[in-house]
Structure 1
Amino acid sequence: MHTHDGTSRANRDTRREFLAAAGGVTAGIVATAGCLGTSDRVRVLSAGSLAVVLEEHVGPAFESETGISYEGEYHGSNIVMRMIEDGTKHPDVVVSADVELLRDRLYPDRAEWDLEFAANEVGIVYNPETELGARLEADEPWYEVFADADADEIAISDPDLDPLGYRAVHLFELAEHRYGLEGFRETMLERTYWEPNEPQLLTGIEAGNRACAVAYRNMAADHDLPFRALSDAYNFGNPEYAEEYAEASYTTEDGYSTVGTPTIYNATVRTDADNPEAGREFVSSLGTASSLLEAHGLRVGDSLPRGNGDVPGAIEL
């Protein structure tokens, strides 16, 4: 079982090992690096939930259109920011799953603007051949299904490393208030498995080792797994519910305070990027890739893309 101040001992050891290695070993899918000059490549350090769509779809389309080689690396957004702050990584482009996280951690020294380009929603990805998955498939209330779960049957992304993780905590808190579920948030924090490597969140479900995970809709689409949609009141997918989302909070182990917000991705070019021109081209391509992004489970709609700060004129809005 987990303890209140962290995860189970084995799980915490896994997280420590992951963090120790993260500076030198890429998590998830990574393009081959090191063989090209900076003039013909763009290096992107991105939120792990976009690993598949960027690596397999947006990146290749960008390469085909521009002739610039795409190199992507994917981690939880908190890790992304930490790598940039401590100088471990030097990407041209930074992509975050939480707009305020990027602005809080990179403005004004490492970035001066960003482009919001896609939105997402939180739900439950599940294996219908498990007991919990079968109950979700039968449309039982998800919080009743979760309340009956054994330890580690449900996975969440590590809330200390990743916005998807702390959004899972926000979800549990909002559900507790909405349905009068006393102690639900803390019970779920103790009972869930915390995955330190966001791109690997659904691996256990695919292997049959876990029943379900709190994940984004696009991740279910990427892995062709069933997705249980949740109410807009707590799926972090509808900006009209921003005030309700903000009623939930979580403070990471390194002291970063979060509140519930709509799930919107933003991207920027670092002020000291090696190839800022290629970086701006790539960010601009994100702003015009709405059909490709929507085809892989993301939301764009009429309100995006949207700029913040002094967005370069070369980037289409």
Structure 2
Amino acid sequence: MADRKVVVLIGVVLVAVISGGLFYYYSGGANSVYVLHAGSLTKPVKRIDEINDKLDVRNEPHGSVTVSRLVSEGQKHPDVVAVSDYSLIPDFMMSKGRIDWYIQFARNEVVLCYTEDSKYADEIDQKNWYKILSRPDVKFGFGNPNADPGGYRAMMTVQLAELYYENSQIFDDLVGTNTAMKAPEEKDGTYKIGAVKLDQLNPSEKVSTGAMEVAVIPKLEEGSIDYMFNYRSIAKQHEFKFVELPYKVNLGKVKYASRYKKVRVKLTGGTVKKGKPIVYGITILKDAKHKEAAVDFLKYIFSEKGRKVFENMGQPPIYPPRTNKKSALPEELQDIVVEIEE
């Protein structure tokens, strides 16, 4: 009998582990909300949890491509999904029927972060940054392009720099010779960068990567790298120095959208991401367990207080927020947003 009890107990533990791990459902009170989000949204989401005493926010950060795959494959069951590239929502999650709509709510831009201890910190500027990075004793990092928009946007930025500075060697000098990624020019004059799995990236000692853009931050802080491609919001939140890249390069301006789309990144799953201005997206899952709290969470983000959080953290909010399908939104959100054509 004792042995049988042990077997039963082990079975219960295994079920609990599976339920709490791979197939995760967040249980909590009526005011609880489970938010699966981009790594670059960690500090804003935590700050909103701190100042909004009506909600209990459980946040879980990953690279946005990873977030999208976890949801589309049914491995995670959050109430709210927020990603750093809104187009991941229709590309991954809407196609699986888990989501009907999305809202564009914030912007960002790519910068080159560094510290006062970085090599050549007193020399680097908007005109010479790519030359500094190519020096033999300089190391730099970026997020995983195959799992994180911060990573594939870093690659887009490097390729766009070739066009801006009229130097066809920039991508090869910085990325091609230091990783397994290449950026061949297509017949139509565009460039398609081939992302690879992280364990196949084969970075040289010069280059360092992480599962998502925020995973590279400690490497810059501890001095194991000198520079890091990341978002302006990350630079501000962590008080890094940074090189502000040209608008035609940094993916931050709508007016240069036609230029940005000259560069694409093909993910290993076959999805091709086109260069476009950085816009964050947020949505609520159809089967959200805490739907009312999820709606309240979005309302707070779009409120004056919520927008102030993002503004203070270097992520300009889009106001009014923009949606692809206003009629599909919960009624409480419909008067807050405007509908756009995609």
**Shorter-chain TM band:** 0.7 to 0.9
- Shift of the alpha carbon at 1:24? 4.6
Which residue, 96, 103, 109 being the options, matches 1:121?
Answer: 109
Q: Which residue of 2 aligns with 1:92?
A: 79
Structure 2 gap ranges (5+): 1-19, 179-205, 338-342
Distance 2:289 2:222 in 1: 40
Q: Aligned AA for 1:123?
A: V
The C-alpha deviation readout for 1:21-62, integer Å capped at 9, x for no partner, is xx959xxxxxxx96x63523000000101111211x122223
Alignment equivalent of 1:203, drawn from 206, 212, 218: 218
Question: What is the CA–CA distance in structure 2 between the aligned matches of 1:118 and 1:134, rounded to whole Å?
Answer: 32
Partner of 2:67: helix, strand, or coil? helix
Aligned partner of residue 310 in structure 2, secondary structure: helix
Confirm or deny: 8 A CA contact 2:107 2:315 kept in the other structure.
yes
Indicate if the aligned counterparts of 1:133 and 1:212 stay in contact, CA closer than 8 A.
Answer: no
**Structure 2 residue 50 is matched with structure 1 residue 60:** yes
State the distance in 2 between where 1:41 and 1:102 align: 23
Q: How does 1:148-167 map to 2 (within 5 A)?
A: 148-150=135-137, 153-167=139-153
What SS class does the counterpart of residue 45 from structure 1 fall into?
A: strand
- Partners of 2:136 and 2:302 lie apart in 1 by 41
Asked if the contact 1:221–1:297 (Cα under 8 Å) also holds between the matched residues in 2, the reply is: yes
1:107–1:210: structure 2 CA closer, same or farther, 3 Å change rule?
A: same
TM-score (norm 1): 0.82
1:39 matched residue in structure 2: 30
Cα shift readout 1:145-183 (whole Å, capped 9, x = no counterpart): 1222557x1000110010010001100111112223223
Distance 2:173 2:49 in 1: 40
Equivalent position SS for 1:113: coil
Taking only the aligned residue pairs, the percentage that are identical comes to 28
Question: How big is the shift at 1:201?
Answer: 1.8
2:331 corresponds to 1:313: yes
| 2:84 and 2:149 in contact (8 A); partners too | yes
- The secondary structure found in structure 2 opposite 1:99 is coil
* Letter in structure 2 aligned against 1:61: I
The aligned runs of 1:144-293 (5 Å cut-off) are: 144-150=131-137, 153-189=139-175, 190=178, 191-288=206-303, 289-293=306-310
**Is 1:297 aligned to residue 288 of structure 2?**
no
| Structure 1 residue 123 displacement after superposition | 0.4
- Alpha-carbon shift at residue 140 of structure 1 (Å): 5.2
The number of equivalent residue pairs is 280
CA-atom RMSD, angstroms?
2.1
The aligned amino acid for 1:73 is E
Q: Distance in 2 between matches of 1:279 and 1:228?
A: 37
CA shift at 1:220, angstroms?
A: 1.0
TM (norm. structure 2) is 0.77
Counterpart-to-counterpart distance in 2, 1:98 and 1:175: 21
Q: Report if the CA contact (8 A) 2:148-2:212 is conserved.
A: no
Query: Aligned-pair distance for 1:313?
Result: 2.1
1:245 and 1:258 map into 2 onto residues whose CA distance is 11
Q: Which secondary structure does the structure 2 equivalent of 1:133 belong to?
A: coil
Q: Is the 8 A contact 2:35 2:59 kept in 1?
A: yes
CA distance in 1, matches of 2:98, 2:137: 43
Amino acid across the alignment from 2:232: R
Runs ≥4 in structure 1, deviation > 6 angstroms? none
